[in-house]
A and B are shown apart, each in its own frame.
Chain A
Amino acid sequence: MTEPPLLSVEDLEVRYRVTSGWFGGSDVHAVNGVSFSVAEGETIGIVGESGCGKTTLGQAILGLTDISAGAVKLRGTERDRARRTQIQIIFQDPQSSLDPRLPVWRLITEPLHIRGGYANKQLIDRASELAVSVGLRPEHVDRYPHEFSGGQRQRIAIARALAVEPALLVLDEPTSALDVSVQAQIVNLLLSLQAQRKLSYVLISHDVSLVRHVADRVAVMYLGQIVEEGPTLDVLDAPSHPYTRTLLDAVPRFDRPLASIAPRAGELPSNRTLPTGCFFRERCPSATAGCEQPQLLVAADGLRKVRCHLVTNVHGMGRPRSAPRPAFPSDATA
């Protein structure tokens, strides 16, 4: 029996109940059947357009949001307590995640403070150590967040996440609020911490070049589902799924002129009532017969999985080659 992976996400679904407002009554289907795993020391990148459910997925991994179906397992178990310290999160905006009234040593050691049983002196020493490990100076721990730049605040947030010796960090757009020169510093820090501590990362980002640089594997999300997943360079250099291709064509690059994008390419369909059949069908340039069936994420070439029958030759209602799974109950509108 092989050891279970560090993190496994199994058929995860997250729905937000919307009780009031214009859409009262209909749920938001934010994550719609996501499965993947992360090994120790590995980085998986999650890419996809705004609203496709990346942050929700990250929150669900941490247990910060309720899951409607499926499971999140750490080393094979679903226990919440283990998750709470073994998995930590870094947000996009370090400003809002740091209480401005607390000195940096208190911020960094907040998770230990919550756990309790430490004297202030111990906490300050630990904070200085952690500060140094993220490239701050020991004396910085006596200062307050507003005295730091955006990049330094992100270092403080990383130090705080490391305080409880986690095995996995969820990085939700960790550099999107930063300038490119500062981004480079944070990326280098994350890479070296990973090498030193065998950390695993779930890197959520809309920046494909960042994910390409940092991740071993990448999962492309569309409307709360993974449409393609596999080794980073396989997926990003030779995308299979029509959506992955649309997305990558739009990424601005020095070495090629502006892509001409079909206008429909710009609009994500509503996640209040999920489409029947392939979620990408409305926007897909290759849509054809068979796309009105729900699509399954199944093995394609090599280590890659793709959710499109044109690529995999597996039809929604047919029998997938890998473990059979029920077709996704997408049209069960709430």
Chain B
Amino acid sequence: MSEPSGDVLLEISDLSLVFRTSRGPIKALNGVSLNVRAGEIVGIVGESGCGKSVTMMAATRLLPKGSAHITAGGIRLFGNDPMKLSERELQHVRGKLVSTIFQEPMNALNPTRRIGEQIVEIIRRHQRLDAKAATSKAIGLLRDMLISEPERIMQAYPFELSGGMRQRVLIAMAFSCEPKLIIADEPTTALDVTVQALILSLIKHKAASTGTAVVFISHDMAVVSQLCDRLYVLYAGRVAEAGTTASVLAAPAHPYTRALIRCLPGLVAPKQPLEQILGTLPDLLDPPAGCLFKARCREADERCKAVPPLAAIGAARRAACWRRIEETQSA
């Protein structure tokens, strides 16, 4: 299987980023490379603190200006370096090209204003529509989210809706300006599985029908496997492995990906000990030299004192692991 061939909307190459803090620089990203093409759904997975949110916030310039510093590598978002955009250009990119959906929908909605006013406002900010046209567009978007009485929901305040309903409203808002790219950061983590399944299928259908690309951030391997065309597995601010979802799951290559999948309950017989990953995440104030997974890796050896590149290890598969690189070369 080859990688999709649409236009590259977002390209991040070897991005390293630190947060300056009183305890010293936190090396949050350590050479992340990833790209997103038009129309595809890309998953970013990894455990807490591995840099999923920071990577996408850097791409959309949402990180705190004072403390976050890019120390190497670069970002191209729709062909531009987001760090060099003027405030005006940035507004255009955020409004028309990219939108974001976050985990806690309450924070993204104004609690004191009706749902309808908020959607209409966002539509009219970016599109030349009169109030009436914007209202009917908003109702249509809510209907697309399978909200059964959209007119009633338009009149409601955020607190009157369940978490799942609020998240559907936010997804409708994210699609409202017909963006080319949507970044969804753990949009279903706080929700029940039944609501999650509904929301995932809404995102999938809406993205397919509008041709919108989606970056879907999650710590849940099973969720991304059901939704995404391609995956990036992050570890300590670096891509450990990338490839099509089917191929990564069928044959995970990086020792971290393998361990992440094997420690899930459900793969061994009930009551049997689950596979454990030894040790803990490296301290990002002082990450080890060489492969960042070295201290926890059962396959580590001398070579791993050097940083492994994210190298091709098969068709549309890449892994940052000396073992896999060597096996590919000798095959």
Which residues of A are at the interface with B, using a C-beta cutoff of 8 A?
A: 49-50, 149, 179-181, 183-185, 187-188, 191-192, 206-210, 212-214, 232-233, 246-247, 249-254, 256-261, 263-268
Contact = CB atoms under 8 A, between A and B. Distances in A.
Interface of B: 47-48, 146-148, 162, 164-165, 191-198, 200-201, 204, 219-223, 225-227, 249, 259-260, 263-266, 268, 270-271, 273-277, 280
B225 A259 contact: no
B263 A180 contact: yes
Given A258-B226, A263-B146, A263-B148, A184 B263 contact: yes
Nearest to A48: B192
B274 A213 contact: yes
Nearest to B222: A252
Given A212-B265, A257-B226, A191 B201 contact: no
15 contacts: A179-B219, A180-B263, A181-B47, A184-B277, A188-B273, A209-B264, A213-B271, A250-B197, A253-B226, A254-B249, A258-B197, A260-B201, A261-B194, A266-B198, A267-B165
B266 to A, nearest CB: 4
Main secondary structure of the interface of A (DSSP, over half): helix
Given A184-B275, A188-B273, A209 B266 contact: yes
Nearest to B145: A263
A265 B202 CA distance: 14
Nearest to A208: B193
Given A187-B274, A188-B273, A254-B249, A267 B164 contact: yes
A185 B219 CA distance: 17
B198 A188 contact: no
B22 to A, nearest CB: 16
Most chain A CB within a 10 A radius of its CB, from B47, B147, B198, B273: B198
Nearest to B197: A250
Most chain B CB within a 10 A radius of its CB, from A208, A256, A266: A266
Contacts of B280: 149
B47 A50 contact: no
Contacts of B260: 180-181
A232 B193 CA distance: 19
Contacts of B225: 252, 254
B259 A181 contact: yes
A256 B260 CA distance: 19
B192 A206 contact: yes
A210 B273 CA distance: 12
Contacts of B271: 191, 213-214
Contacts of B148: 263-264
A180 B197 contact: no
Contacts of A210: 265
B194 A250 contact: yes
A209 B194 contact: no
Most chain A CB within a 10 A radius of its CB, from B148, B192, B263, B268: B192
A208 B192 CA distance: 12
B193 A206 contact: yes
A249 B198 contact: no
A258 B47 contact: no
B193 A265 contact: no
A214 B198 CA distance: 28
A209 B194 CA distance: 15
Given A253-B222, A261-B194, 8 more contacts: A180-B221, A184-B274, A191-B271, A210-B265, A213-B265, A233-B270, A250-B196, A252-B196
Contacts of B265: 184, 187, 207, 209-210, 212-214
B263 to A, nearest CB: 4
B80 to A, nearest CB: 34
Contacts of B191: 50
Contacts of A265: 194, 197-198
A168 to B, nearest CB: 18
